[in-house]
Structure 1
Amino acid sequence: MTNDNRAGGEPAARIGMVNYLNVAPIYETWKESVNQPEWEIVEDHPSGLNRRLLEGSIDLGFVSSYACGLNPEKYLILPGLSISANGAVGSVFLFSHVPFEQLGGAQILLTAQSATSIALVKVILEKFIKVKPKYTSGNIMELENEHDYQAVLAIGDDALKLVDGSDYLYQFDLGDIWKRETELPFVFAVFAVRREFAEEQPELLHRIHKELVRCCDDGRRALPRICELAGPRVPITQSKCVEYLKGIEYDLSARKRTALETFFSILITQGELPKEALPLQFFCWDQDK
């Protein structure tokens, strides 16, 4: 095995991974089949990985799409990888006691775990529905009284738990609403790499990228087994887990890139992202360099 460790015994690569059920096809396959101890996996929720990538404590990882657009000068996107959905995603919900149209001026609690979902719910409410709520950020699962807020934004495993275990009258799937309004899929997360790492270690990054894509392909072909491993952590039954994961997509096709560009364009217009967020910048392996 090649010793890729940095000087001083530091890991050759520090890879951020979200330990949500929606990443299980990739992550569970990685844990089973990638034997590279010099590649360190760092688990966190999306916002935590956003922060780690920005501060340089990881070299690459699954991060919120929004975070990638917020710091385009720092990152490149790995081709062919995303957490996305072509319609309903099943784990990014605005849970509400009232219809969308009644949320103007209402108190909404937003999860602190995902910058992309926060940006998306604001686009949906303020641009598409034309209402302006009042936002607060916090831990959704520590909320003692569901009626303290008119609505809450929950993502990932928290959202899966609330789908069957809350008293909210309305469950708005943000991926479904985005598709209805734009006729496009939605890209919640991308695998981004710090530009310095890509420039200094292009061959190593190429090897990691290949393994990630392989894990994605293998994991997608083994959803029942993946759900046996990861489902009990939520918890969720195997059948519901398989149904849920069939709706998650992991590619970054031309249509997904168009969707991401559309989202970024809206946020640039609203002053939420710098104009340099477009065009999207991708890592390109050049073995002749």
Structure 2
Amino acid sequence: MSAARALDDLAALAAPLPTSASTGSESTGPLKRDLVAGLEKGLAVIEAFDQERPRLTISEVAARTGLTRAAARRYLLTLTHLGFVSQDRKMFALTPKVLRLGQSYMHSARLPRIVEPELHKLAYALKEASSAGVLDGNDVICIAATSAGRVVSPTLQPGTRVPAHCSGNGRVLLSALPQADVDAWIARQELTPLTPHTVTHPERLRIEIARARALGYACIDQELELGLRTVAVPLKNYRGDIVAAMNISVHASRMSMDQLVEHCLPPLLQAQAHLRMLL
């Protein structure tokens, strides 16, 4: 892209948009008596494990889930009995069987099946990596990806999670939210700098999200990883609802941001238009 604009020139883009709360159509959600608390807590135990903490004790699981130590023990023993967790003395860890949960989504969900062929066309036409993702809390989860033979980043594979605030797919998905929801989302974030280029100032992030909303696409220049440049667009269904985001990622040594936008954005927008007829 051209030289970065001054923040005060972009401030107008961050003006509040109408929120969905004013429409009166917001769902109140299910009644508490209709929910299965045990299932909710069991899934929370599985989610307690991550890359930084692959092995946990009962006390650590209890602390991360808000369960009592006795309850955490019962859930861990149940998951061990079912084969989703393994135990080595006082330490517990997830087993490969947990992958079945993700595979059930990848094999049954309509969205990845529709998006994946278009990603392959894009990636092999441009000889660059392409991926699609959805917003999940603070992160973007990759639901489909292809590298076209280029290993650009280990994050570009199905099932990986990356922070939404510094990823292309995250920026365009956040730009689809009402401004009040964007403000609330930013207020909840720690905005950890993953590289020296990561935007960590809340107002600057608000402006960047507004820029993505105004332009219809987002560019990320080495904010997620050093050497990784990305351009992303939202994916809309036939009703105009944004259901996912799709990007092209390149290595910074091979392509400038101007070249990335000029070379990759037009085919990305063509794929976006094509997928809108299918979603």
**Which of 1 and 2 has higher RCO (CA within 8 Å, sep 6+)?**
1
Q: TM-score range by the shorter chain?
A: under 0.3
TM-score (normalised: structure 1): 0.25
TM-score (normalised: structure 2): 0.26
